[in-house]
Amino acid sequence: MARKVSQMDERLTVALRVVAPGSAIREGLDNIVRARTGVLLVLAEEDEIAPLITGGIRVDVELSPLILYELAKMDGAIVMASDGSRITHANVHLMPNPDIPSVETGTRHRTAERVAKQIDALVISISASRDVVSLYVDDIRYVLEEMRAILTKANQALQTLEKYKSRLDQVSTSLSSLEFEDVVTLHDVLTVVQRTEMVLMIAREIEYYVLELGQEGRLIRLQLEELMIDVRRNREAVIRDYAPSFSDQVVKQTAEKLRELESEELLSLPRIAEVMGYNPVSNLAEVQLSPRGFRILRKIPRLPLSVTKNMVERFGHLEQVMMASAEELESVEGIGPVRAGEIMGGFERLREHNFLERHN
């Protein structure tokens, strides 16, 4: 499987944290790489790995980088507790099911792949001849790279993210203007959704770099967090505004489907429209839409989502909310005279801010 996976797999995330720079396991692995010793290391629960073990030595000692390095000089595999806290076996021979398919050619890597697929385990294989550290989790194979190479790729990805985020900000500002004028088309909405998912896809790749960098990835993480402020919440608001329903279940399901789209699918606005719940149309720019108001209303300070939902249920669309009088707003549950005034004042400030953003 390719080194970079498109989705942020939860188990791979955990695995990368286990072997991140600064951890005891990573220190031991680095020593093994430098010594060109090679190793097959399995992190698993005792009852799951026991049927696959033959021979070897039962050790049961607390993890130490030095002990891990010394045990790697033996020919057999090393078994550790699933949390990586203790070394339980050394110099063992592993016998996974030979019928499990494997794309690996070397004996050590083939065994590692089969063990990872057969049981709930993180398996680490280091090639003695090529200094390659491979992680196996389920059917994922992830190759660790040198720190310098990862930093270079992370910085390049951040530069790409900045460009895509800038474009997302532009189309989002444009959508806000169209929403205030109530002249939104399906093409406008899908463009924002498309750009949002592209930004999120790049961010997920950088998150892997940050995990792999461990303590060395602090600055990358800070830059990523700054660039990604409100991106996910704005994506949720767009879905609530334009999906067939704004229920939490529909929003969650739509977000998951968008996340699962491949890079090629994200280039197709009709495919994104399908995921958003729209029927196929020949010209997306001819389909007129009216926002419910979640995206604009979330920009008003101290306005809970529950109150926004009440307003949408009461008025239906953003235009009706903006045209509502103070008395009409106060008729909505959760809105009193003070909050009604804040909402009406918020609309005026947002209009002015959006005008300045668009013309600057």
Final residue belonging to a domain, choices 245, 264, 291: 291
**Same domain flag for 159 and 287:** yes
Contacts of residue 167, Cβ cutoff 8 Å, sequence gap at least 6: 195
CATH code of residue 301: 1.10.150.20
Q: What is the pLDDT of residue 5?
A: 46
**Same domain flag for 173 and 214:** yes
Q: Which residues of 311-345 are buried (b: 16+ CB within 10 A; e: fewer)?
A: bbebbebbbbbbebeeeebeebeebeeebbebbbe
Q: Which residue, 99, 91, 95, 87, is CA-closest to 53?
A: 95
Residue 173 CB burial class (10 angstroms; 0-12, 13-18, ≥19): middle
Is residue 242 within 8 A of residue 258, CB to CB? The reply is no
Final residue belonging to a domain, choices 291, 307, 329: 291
CATH code of residue 42: 3.40.1700.10
* Nearest-angstrom CA–CA distance, 236 and 259: 12
Is this model's pTM higher than 0.85 or not? no
- State which residues form the domain around 352: 292-360
Q: What is the pLDDT of residue 360?
A: 66
pLDDT per residue as tens, the chain (360 positions): 334 444 457 888 889 889 988 889 999 999 999 898 889 999 999 999 999 999 999 999 999 999 999 999 998 999 999 989 999 999 999 999 999 999 888 889 999 999 999 998 999 999 877 778 999 998 899 998 888 889 999 999 999 999 999 999 999 999 999 999 999 999 999 999 999 999 999 999 999 899 888 888 899 999 999 999 999 999 999 999 999 999 999 999 999 999 999 999 999 999 999 999 999 988 999 999 999 999 999 999 999 999 999 999 999 999 999 999 999 999 999 999 999 999 999 999 998 888 777 766
Q: Contacts for 230-238 with beta carbons within 8 Å, 24 or more apart?
A: 231/165, 231/168, 231/196, 231/199, 231/200, 231/203, 232/200, 233/298, 234/172, 234/196, 234/295, 234/298, 235/193, 235/196, 235/197, 235/200, 237/294, 237/295, 237/298, 238/189, 238/192, 238/193, 238/196, 238/295
* Nearest-angstrom CA–CA distance, 323 and 187: 26
Q: What is the CA angle 37-70-55, rounded to 5?
A: 90
State the total domains in the chain.
Answer: 3
Q: What is the pLDDT of residue 145?
A: 83
CATH code of residue 216: 1.20.1260.110
Q: What is the pLDDT of residue 7?
A: 47
